[in-house]
């Protein structure tokens, strides 16, 4: 113990004390570094490759859906009762054939001619039947319908395609009217909430178009918009111009059924 208090050696004791002070300082510094490393490591939380929630927020692009944002402004020439053609355009849909008692024959219905949108039949049982067909009219409570855009967005050279699907939840076949007197398709531009096209503006000569909806099945109609404007009583001279890049909302409305909506985007060049 005496050698610890009084260093023994050929050199002066002050030199040995300075050496001891330096070694003690180094030991204390190493201890502080070790404590800091342990405490900082414990403060980190492993993410296991799943991130810590601070990454970029996912954006949702407009696209196929059963409903969209509500727009209060009604399009020109259209009342709330709905008078348009969900099968599209100003032309009348034409069935490929009808069978006995108004039941559909072979082939599906095809859509309009030279309107602003061209309809095309499809889906299961998408066949036109006469208005006086013995098939009962589908009860609104037995119908479910939705409108979807085939794509979320469209290039400047693409024509938006919309699909209207009507499902029959009842146990029997029935018919539904999708003509100018029964349904209406309207396209709104979200900027300004204005209607740019409506099937009610130029409904054509055919007032009633009925389609068979099989029991527990559906009927699908396709509408292709040619990206032209429409206006009431301007079928021969439609408004000039073309829609600008923006988000557009599609609204399909028929008496007794909820409004179906979806959206799509017209992209920049």
Q: What does the block give as tokens for 159?
A: 């024509």
b/e string for 190-221 if b means 16 or more Cβ within 10 A? Answer: beeeebbbbbbbbbbebeebbbbbbeebbbbb
Query: Kind and range of the H or E element at 38?
Result: helix 13-42
Q: What is the pLDDT of residue 56?
A: 41
- Of 52-66, 123-137, 203-217, 220-234, which gets the smallest average pLDDT? 52-66
Q: What is the pLDDT of residue 144?
A: 93
Give the chain's count of helices (H) and strands (E).
2, 12
Query: Kind and range of the H or E element at 31?
Result: helix 13-42
Q: What is the pLDDT of residues 116-174, one digit of tens each?
A: 444 433 344 458 899 889 999 999 999 999 999 999 999 999 999 999 899 999 999 99
Neighbouring residues of 256: CB distance < 8 A, sequence distance ≥ 6 = 140
Q: How many residues does the chain have?
A: 269
Q: What is the pLDDT of residues 156-166, one digit of tens each?
A: 999 999 998 99
Q: What is the pLDDT of residue 32?
A: 79
Query: Three-state SS for 22?
Result: helix
Say if pTM beats, i.e. exceeds, 0.75. no
Burial of 250 (0-12, 13-18, 19+ CB in 10 A): buried
Q: What is the pLDDT of residue 8?
A: 58
Is the pLDDT at 29 greater than 70, yes or no? yes
Banded pLDDT at 266 (limits 50, 70, 90): very high
Half-sphere exposure of 54 (CA within 13 A, CB side): 2
Q: What is the pLDDT of residues 38-67, one digit of tens each?
A: 776 655 444 444 444 444 433 323 334 443
Please give the residue that has the higher pLDDT: either 98 or 209. 209
On average, the pLDDT of the chain sits at 71
Q: What angle do CA 171, 172, 176 make, to 5 degrees?
A: 120
Q: What does the block give as tokens for 221?
A: 């109609």
Please give the residue that has the higher pLDDT: either 102 or 3. 3
- Could you tell me which of 88, 245, 60 has the C-alpha nearest to residue 155? 245
8 Å CB contact between 76 and 198: yes
Q: What is the pLDDT of residue 18?
A: 79
Banded pLDDT at 180 (limits 50, 70, 90): low
Query: Kind and range of the H or E element at 11?
Result: none
Banded pLDDT at 183 (limits 50, 70, 90): confident
Q: What is the pLDDT of residue 37?
A: 74
Q: What is the mean pLDDT of residues 189-206?
A: 85
Q: What is the pLDDT of residue 208?
A: 75
Please give the residue that has the higher pLDDT: either 22 or 132. 132
Banded pLDDT at 205 (limits 50, 70, 90): low
Is the pLDDT at 175 greater than 80, yes or no? yes
Give the DSSP letter of residue 197: E
């Amino acid at each position: 113990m005496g050698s610890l208090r009084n260093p023994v050696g050929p050199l002066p004791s002050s030199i040995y004390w300075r050496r001891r002070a330096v070694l003690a300082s180094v030991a204390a510094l190493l201890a502080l570094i070790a404590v800091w490393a342990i405490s900082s490591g414990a403060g980190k939380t492993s993410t296991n490759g799943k991130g810590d929630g601070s990454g970029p927020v996912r954006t949702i692009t407009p696209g196929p859906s059963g409903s969209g944002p509500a727009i209060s402004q009604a399009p020109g020439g259209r009342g709330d009762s709905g008078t348009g053609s969900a099968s599209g355009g100003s032309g009348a849909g034409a069935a490929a054939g009808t069978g006995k008692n108004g039941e559909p024959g072979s082939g599906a219905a095809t859509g309009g001619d030279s309107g602003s949108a061209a309809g095309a039949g499809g889906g299961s049982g998408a066949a036109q039947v006469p208005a006086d067909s013995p098939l009962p009219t589908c009860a609104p409570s037995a119908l479910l319908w939705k409108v979807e855009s085939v794509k979320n967005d469209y290039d400047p050279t693409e024509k938006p395609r919309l699909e209207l699907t009507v499902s029959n939840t009842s146990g029997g076949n029935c018919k539904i009217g999708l003509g100018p007197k029964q349904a209406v398709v309207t396209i709104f531009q979200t900027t300004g909430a204005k209607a740019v096209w409506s099937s009610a503006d130029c409904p054509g000569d055919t007032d009633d178009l009925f389609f068979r909806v099989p029991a527990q099945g559906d009927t699908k109609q396709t509408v292709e918009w040619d990206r032209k404007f429409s206006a009431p009583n301007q079928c021969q001279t439609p408004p000039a111009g073309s829609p600008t890049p923006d988000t557009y909302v599609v609204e399909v409305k028929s008496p007794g059924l909820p409004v179906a909506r979806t959206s799509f985007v017209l992209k920049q060049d």
